[in-house]
Amino acid sequence: MVGAGLAGVRAGEALRAQGFSGKLTLVSDEPEPPYDRPPLTKQVVTGTLTEADIRLPGTAELDARWVRGVAAVGLDRERRRVRLADGTELPYDGLVLATGARARPWPGEVPADGVLTVRGLADVRRLRSALAGGAREVAVVGAGFVGVELASSLAALGVRVTLVEPFGLPLRVLGGSVPGLVAKAARRAGVQLLTGTGVRGFHAEGEQVRGVELADGSVLPARLVVVAIGMVPATEWLQGSGLALPSGRVHCDKRLFARTPDPSGRGDPRIVVAGDVARCDAVRSADGPVPLEHWSNAAAQGELAGRNLLAGPDTAQPYAHVPSFWTSAFGLRIRSVGLPGTGDRVAVEAGDPATDAVLEAHYRESRLVGAVSVNQGQLLAAYARRLHQAPEEAFLG
């Protein structure tokens, strides 16, 4: 397993559960034992969960060899070896690619002190130590899931937060009236929300950031800036491996085997892919395969990747998973199933967007493609069932 987050660990567990008794090695470029990421921007920032609380359980029972704090830097499929940053090589009979993603860095110059991205435990430690050091005015650039969750957690800690989103409302990927609800709730929580406001760069005194320069030339004062503008799949080490890497993700077939440019269309029978790094043929909208960057996908895909690797391509099972995700911010409990952002029509099917309790269904050419709930999560299971029951018409397989 290259990558020892949720997807890699679930793959290892599945291999053992299926009776694999050979040698298992998990490689991670992070020094920590495996942990869960969803609480990082929420409970770990606010201090209600500790690092020990978010460790993934059961890793000792894997009976595995762990290589920690060492990145994979190359893959030689012909010789079946993974090259590591410390110069060693790991031979393999089967390989799980689960390297996930990194936070997308700011595409320009950044002062050395006071500008962070948040993806892993080390980032949250830096954030917490900046707060402990007295940072009381924080700017968050980017109102996707990470930016919104962080803004919510920081506001709950009493920090003055400005959330800047160049491209419109927060969580706009959810569509419908939910982004507007999130904007309203953010303002109610005391967050200064600047939408449709571009960012030119940063002002610094020496190496310490002092503010964010906005598109209109004004400067937003901040001693701490969190850049939350998305993620980049961690696949640069696979350049030259001969694997298909569309948009930087590892392309895998419906059974999670890594695809190659081989004209037969067959994947590499010794390599499976799971989690944020994957672009899987079995997860698609009407426009083609869609990458998923959610916990539930990493868990389900990791498990199937482990099973399918052991079974081999001929008896492997196709991936059939209804996407689902959750977030909580500013007192709103938001859940979704399917691919809500890919519809062409949104219908309020329960509740009322004016009351912070609503369910919206998303349709494309009158077919259900997804649903989003705010404080109405009890209604989603029925939508998930509908999405699961019409796979050939929806986005699955």
Q: Dihedral angle at the C-alpha atoms of 212, 216, 218, 224, nearest 10 degrees?
A: -10
3-state helix vs strand vs coil in the chain, percent to 5: 25, 35, 40
Residues 208-267 interacting with another protein (rule: CB under 8 A): none
Residues 334-363 interacting with another protein (rule: CB under 8 A): 335, 337
In the complex with another protein, the residue whose CB is nearer, 235 or 336, is: 336
> If you count DSSP H runs as helices and E runs as strands, how many of each does the chain have, helices first?
7, 27
Is position 326 an interface residue for another protein (rule: CB under 8 A)? yes
Among 303, 332, 339, 360, binds another protein (CB under 8 A): 303
Whether the Cβ atoms of residue 305 and residue 256 lie closer than 8 Å to each other: yes
Is position 188 an interface residue for another protein (rule: CB under 8 A)? no
In whole angstroms, give the CA distance from residue 41 to residue 46.
8
Among 219, 354, 381, 390, binds another protein (CB under 8 A): 381
In the complex with another protein, the residue whose CB is nearer, 25 or 296, is: 296
For residue 81, the minimal CB distance to another protein (Å) is: 32
3-class DSSP assignment, residue 313:
coil
In whole angstroms, give the CA distance from residue 149 to residue 42.
6
Sign of CA dihedral 323, 331, 225, 191: positive
3-class DSSP assignment, residue 363:
strand
Among 20, 25, 36, 203, binds another protein (CB under 8 A): 36
Residue the block writes with tokens 């571009």: 198
Is position 374 an interface residue for another protein (rule: CB under 8 A)? no
Is position 295 an interface residue for another protein (rule: CB under 8 A)? yes
Whether the Cβ atoms of residue 362 and residue 372 lie closer than 8 Å to each other: yes
Among 138, 234, 277, 322, binds another protein (CB under 8 A): 322
**Length of the chain in terms of residues written:** 397
Site string for another protein, 53-92 (x = CB under 8 A): ----x-----------------------------------
Which strand (E) or helix (H) includes residue 273? strand 267-273
For residue 327, the minimal CB distance to another protein (Å) is: 10
Among 333, 341, 367, 397, binds another protein (CB under 8 A): 333
Is position 377 an interface residue for another protein (rule: CB under 8 A)? yes
In the complex with another protein, the residue whose CB is nearer, 46 or 375, is: 375
Is position 384 an interface residue for another protein (rule: CB under 8 A)? yes
In whole angstroms, give the CA distance from residue 46 to residue 139.
17
Sign of CA dihedral 255, 327, 169, 346: positive
For residue 182, the minimal CB distance to another protein (Å) is: 18
In whole angstroms, give the CA distance from residue 271 to residue 343.
33
Is position 318 an interface residue for another protein (rule: CB under 8 A)? no
In the complex with another protein, the residue whose CB is nearer, 32 or 36, is: 36
For residue 60, the minimal CB distance to another protein (Å) is: 16
Strand pairing report for 25-28 and 65-68: parallel
Whether the Cβ atoms of residue 248 and residue 279 lie closer than 8 Å to each other: no
For residue 99, the minimal CB distance to another protein (Å) is: 21
Is position 46 an interface residue for another protein (rule: CB under 8 A)? no
Whether the Cβ atoms of residue 252 and residue 267 lie closer than 8 Å to each other: yes
Is position 19 an interface residue for another protein (rule: CB under 8 A)? no
Site residues (vs another protein, CB under 8 A):
36, 38, 57, 295-296, 299-300, 303, 322, 324, 326, 333, 335, 337, 375-378, 380-382, 384-385
